[in-house]
Structure 1
Amino acid sequence: MRISSSQYFNMNVASMSDQQSTLASMYQQISSGKRILTASDDPLGAAQAVQLTMRSGALTQYSSNQTTALSSLQQEDSTLGDVSNVLQSIQSKLVQAGDGSLTDADRISVANAIQGYRDQLFGLANTTDSGGNYIFSGLKGGTQPFSDDPSGVGTTYSGDLGQRTVQISEGRSIAVGDTGVSIFGSVSPTESDPVSSAASNKGTGTISAVSVSDASDPKNASTYTIQFAMDATTGTMGYTVAAQPADASLPTTPTAYTGKTDITLGGQKVTIDGTPSDGDSFTVQPAASGNNDIFATLDNLVNALKQPTGSPAAQATLTNALTTAGTKIGNTFNNVLSAQTVVGGREQEVQSAQTAMQTSQTQTASDIANLTSLDLVSAISSYELTQNSLQAAQMAFSQIQKMSLFDYLSS
């Protein structure tokens, strides 16, 4: 087989062009430190690199979400801590208010202190985050959750009942906020049932806080009304107890009242003391179904403390108000502590997710590097070898070009 001079030249030029192209590609790889610059360098490796890069991007976003979630939870945790501190201060003032040696002026001073704590609590309930969003307004972050009720007692909640969540990992979202109602207007069903006396009471009867003997008794979920009435025939004071829903175990006829008396209400009891008047009544209501607005409780407490106690009936009214407020404030305090515990658990979960995410990010980055990074020592050696081969080919080709009859005759 004969090869013409033009074929020979073309073959050598093409070979040297391929080597130059290879050198250029190798130089780019060495300069960038990457083994795969285009999909044609390694189609399978390039596809795997794309998948790993997408995963790395998702992990980066999850990491950012975790940071945001943890920041929100830490702010809520701190705020709830401040709320519990304020409630503890209010409880201390409540104990002080029960001191029988206080004058009306002293109680007004206590009322003003509690009013100050109430205002501080109101400010905490309307706390905003760094972005100006209210942390206790549910999904309506731009709406102030609490405003004072026009009646002067309690507040109006303008947020919603939605709970903000953030996705912290694939398939896992976590709540990063709680509604104002769940913090400042709710209590656990297992908390003490609050007692209250009717505003129209005229006697000196007082009711104690609820004492629970059997927390599992379903009758505890009933609302009980203790009604006092004078028997017109005998002239003796008696009381009846009604329940809603009805409690068949209750007496159907009035029970004579002769003084301090324990009254059993399902799996709990209260003690009535003093001298109730005809028509006076007291109520025991399940904790979770009553008015649990802590601001209304404090407003009523402040108003009660500002009333003169110049008569035994007025003193009894104050005692009953303090008992009611003490139970409701205690229930709210326990509710805040429970919420803080839940928030702390969420913080721990996010922190655990961060640790796991850092491991995943490190592994993914390592996988991408192993797949795309270049072994510089091997690459430089190959580059120099290819370069030497090209130079040798060029020198040989230049020498072969001189091996013609004309060159031989001219020499």
Structure 2
Amino acid sequence: MTLGTSLFHSLNTAAFGRLDTKIADLQTRISEGRNDPRPSSDLGRAARLSAAEDQRALLARFSTTIDRATERLTLTDTTLAEISTVTQRLGEIALRGASASTPDTERVSLATELSTLRKTLVDLGNARDATGRPLFSGYRAGVDPFVEGPHGVSYQGDGGKHRLRVSESARIATGLNGAEVFMGIPDATGARRDLFGMIDDLARTLGRGGNAMVEATRAKGALTLTPDLTRTAADWGLTIEGPQGTARIEVALVAGALGPAVEAINAQAAATGVTATLDEAGTGLVLSAAGSVGVSRLSVSPARGGIIADAGGVPMLAEGRGADALVAGLRNAAEHIADRRAEVGALGAAAERQGELVTRRQTELAGVMAGLEDLDVVEAVTRLQELMLTRQVSQQSYVKIGQSTLFDWLR
């Protein structure tokens, strides 16, 4: 290839252009204080920076998730606080209702207030978070967890706990399900019951004739017990107390067939001193003894509220459903709600600790990324000076060579 003046000028012009580009780019990097982000400038640094960017995005998602969990737990705690207030008032109503000195007019007022509190509890049980998800439905997001039905309030949720991932290896529960909060409360007998069932029982004791309903009764010589049987077989239980002692009777009964109960009671006659026969209608048990006869601790499964038997004109309730038992049961309910609120508080503290951990990781990662992204200004200025000096020397050489002729070189 022949090297002529035109080609000489073209090559030098291109070289100066590339040098000017490098200088301008380096000046930009210095003004921004950032390294060249292009992978071609440093493959190793670019790979580390890409991994750090992925980690930063992941931590940002964890931080957002923790904020959501904290918000939901805070709302759950607030809701439980309101439920606790209502439950404490229910206990006060139960205490007044159990008192024989409470006048009928006050009992009517208490029943009216009880109805309002019951509706309030249903509304609180169906509370939702900012996204519209129920607080107490478990994994079932599209339903109201508590629904009114012909047999009272039923739970439509499940036993799951909504959880969110807050780190690579950890998930945190964002609340409790309705079964934990409302459906597993120990009553006066230690059996697990739902809060709404207790309220319905309390409403019955406050209603007309409610103060006459009992869980135990006693008569001298004989007592006629008429259980409220249905066409569906049910498991019945009762405690018989006679002059010889006490025995627990467990028997399956269906309407129109009291024979098994007679046999079961008579089988314990030696232990209790009580014998049983059918009344004239065949719907009641005549319990006889040479002394007093007592009946208590009635139970039926499946469980039923309200009056389940008549004992010589005295309406009888299942064990744990009378006025005195409800005082203890609702006291347990208040303690149960307080325990559930403490559980939510512990979950909130765990979310807070996880949030602090993510924040520390974000701070450490920011330092690492700063080391990868931030420019070493001293080194960059030195490099800039070198490039500018190179350009100056090159331009001087170009001018000098451009002014020379062949005759200058021949001399």
- What TM-score do the two structures reach when normalised by structure 1? 0.70
2:184 maps to 1:186: yes
C-alpha distance after superposition, 1:368-390 (max 9, x if no partner): 11112113344234324312320
Q: Separation in 2 of the partners of 1:312 and 1:190?
A: 25
Q: State the partner residue of 1:321.
A: 322
Contact 1:36-1:46 at 8 Å conserved across structures? no
Alpha-carbon separation, structure 2, partners of 1:276 and 1:163: 53
Question: How far apart in 2 are the matches of 1:336 and 1:205?
Answer: 27
CA RMSD after TM alignment: 4.2
1:147, distance to aligned residue in structure 2 (A): 1.3
8 Å contact kept, 2:299–2:318: no
- In the aligned structure 1, how far is the partner of 2:157 from the partner of 2:354? 30
Aligned to 2:172: 174
The question of 1:332 aligning with 2:333 is answered yes
DSSP 3-state at the match of 2:172? strand
- Give, in whole Å, the separation in 2 of the partners of 1:24 and 1:387: 10
Shift of 1:365: 1.3
Q: What is the CA distance between 1:8 and its match in structure 2?
A: 7.3
Matched residue type, 1:255: T
CA 1:365–1:229: 2 relative to 1, 3 Å: closer
Distance 1:205 1:160 in 2: 33
Identity of aligned residues (%): 21
Per the alignment, do residues 167 and 253 of structure 1 end up closer, same or farther by CA in structure 2, a change over 3 Å counting?
farther
How many Å apart are 1:180 and its aligned residue?
Answer: 1.2
Indicate the SS of the match to 1:147. Answer: strand
Shift in Å at residue 4 of structure 1? 6.7
Note if 1:282 corresponds to 2:297: yes
- Cα distance change, pair 70–276 in 1 and its aligned pair in 2 (3 A): farther
Contact preservation (8 Å) 1:204, 1:277: no
Q: CA deviation at 1:158?
A: 1.9
Are the counterparts in 2 of residues 139 and 164 from structure 1 also a CA contact under 8 Å? Answer: yes
Superposed, 1:359-374 pairs within 5 Å as 359-374=360-375
3-state SS of paired residue (1:254): helix
- Change in CA separation of 1:73 and 1:92 when aligned onto 2, cut-off 3 Å: same
- Asked if the contact 1:98/1:319 (under 8 Å) is kept, the reply is no
Is 1:165 the counterpart of 2:180 in the alignment? no
Seen in structure 2, the aligned counterparts of structure 1 residues 46 and 397 have a Cα distance that, compared at 3 Å, is: same
Q: Distance in 2 between matches of 1:374 and 1:134?
A: 51
Q: Which runs of 5+ in 2 are unaligned?
A: 206-211, 218-234, 252-267, 275-290
Residue 240 of structure 2 contacts residue 248 of structure 2 at CA under 8 Å; is this kept in 1? no
Q: Which moved more, 1:31-40 or 1:184-193?
A: 184-193
User: What is the distance in 2 between the residues matched to 1:319 and 1:11?
Assistant: 103
Alignment CA distance shift 1:203-1:253 (3 Å): farther
Aligned partner letter, 1:48 = R
Change (3 A) 1:391 1:156: same
1:240 counterpart letter in structure 2: A
Q: Which amino acid aligns with 2:106?
A: D
1:255 corresponds to: 272
Counterpart code for 2:112: N
CA separation of 1:394 and 1:206: change in aligned 2, threshold 3 A: same
Query: Which residue in 2 is equivalent to 1:261?
Result: none
In structure 1, the residue corresponding to 2:75 is in which secondary structure? helix
| Structure 1 stretch displaced more, 389-398 or 16-25 | 16-25
Q: Does the CA contact (< 8 Å) of 1:228 and 1:239 recur in 2? A: yes
C-alpha change, 1:15 and 1:164, in structure 2 (3 Å) is: same
TM norm structure 2: 0.70
- 1:60-88 deviations in whole A, cap 9, x for unaligned? 00000000000001111111111111111
Is the CA contact (8 Å cut-off) linking 1:87 and 1:329 kept in structure 2?
A: yes
Q: Which residue of 2 aligns with 1:268?
A: none
State how far apart, in whole Å, the 2-side matches of 1:29 and 1:35 are. Answer: 6
| Structure with higher strand content | 2
Q: Comparing 383-392 with 129-138, which one deviates more in the overlay?
A: 383-392
- Structure 1: state its 5+ residue gaps: 208-222, 231-235, 245-250, 258-274, 305-310
Equivalent residue letter for 1:173? R
Cα distance in 2 for residues equivalent to 1:385 and 1:190: 90
Q: What letter matches 1:364 in structure 2?
A: L
Distance 1:70 1:9 in 2: 70
Q: How does 1:61-140 map to 2 (within 5 A)?
A: 61-140=61-140
Cα distance, 1:284 vs. partner?
7.3
1:148·1:155 contact (CA, 8 Å) conserved in 2?
yes
Partner of 2:247: 240
Return the letter of the residue paired with 2:154. T
SS at structure 2 position matched to 1:139: coil
